Structure 1
């Protein structure tokens, strides 16, 4: 999805730039040229027919951005009729082109790598900056490709938790401990029943903290939001089902969902990589 969508965005931008060039070259205050009318109408149609749906539903760009651009494209469609102000054309074009890369392109480039099957999982490995993480994840994925799904999930979870622990060390264990105390002190809201307080001083001690407690502290540190924390708890359940005998099956869709989530929420999360 990323490649074709980025190509469409580039084409969309170039058409807008061409329209701006045509409009700017017209003397006077009003536009009455057929070629400009056709160009404006084609751009508005391109947004409706090719751009809006994938940007909104697949790339999941912010709703406010989608709505604002849709309004501007509707306005451009109206402007394509004869005898409209040159300044109105330029206002719409400039709004859409302003910070185009930041608004449309970068969020797609920085989004999680698409994974639809076990054999797509290798796409995740080059996305990791840390070579040790890449090797560990590669080994986990090779397990999945050989049909050892439970082993793959256990290895993958270990990679995710190691990433979390390394981030906590960079932040400082004092901050980790302070966050646990802050959550414990809350008497209302999501954490009102949280009754744990930590005083860890070394990595070895940090490694004794339950994984589910680490997830809570990550949310308290605002390194994960509520939805991400819930998804990580689901991944932890996959890990438990994989590590202990039980009747719950671990099928290919479970493995794909697990690795997609730990990659996007932890391994490639900018907040955990800083």
Structure 2
């Protein structure tokens, strides 16, 4: 296989762009990852199981970490600052905590995809040096593992909602639809940032600083209705906002999804992924030379 690939004549720029355009179609990307499905599953498993391997608490850290953040933010914003959630619920500390945990579960997927996307190539130099290895699998496997981890936090939301108040609403069955735009958006972000991380070694630090800003620009610790009217439209353009609201509507408030917002968000996330995939495939040829 290596000899066959190395024996191929170099493609011109126009031919390369046409080839990438064909590959970066929705069907082309789906077929591409389907061909590498076994590798993708294995790396997702390794990413998920290796996250806490060798630690004392092991998988319990997937519970401790979100609960610690939840306790701090709930105390500061709900108890100290007396913030209330003016969504569709009745308010109170419990609803604030559950709405906050739902937002944190979604944000951690995107934040983790951005952070690891900027470093995943340098962490896997051995695979980068292999000509036939599908490097695009690495950032996507990170996202899939993060989505699995987010299920723990959302599972806590479901348990708390089931045993308090009116119980878990029937609309919770529609909640998993939110993982479609979430996974697409996070995967696209990882694919966009992977080449940046190869070229700039300090990209991880820049991403970390930006994600702190992005956290507070996303309606996670506050509802969008709390934002002044002149800024509300700008924050509503945040692609993560309709995803978080989808999970809150279906899991907490017993409302059906906002199909228009969810559809537009999914379309944007898919376009973002396809563009990121094309960007990654064009630049991955030089990763080995840079690293």
TM class by smaller structure: under 0.3
Normalising by structure 2, we get a TM-score of 0.22
Larger Cα-atom Rg: 1
TM norm structure 1:
0.23
Query: Which of the pair has the greater relative contact order for Cα pairs under 8 Å at 6+ separation?
Result: 2
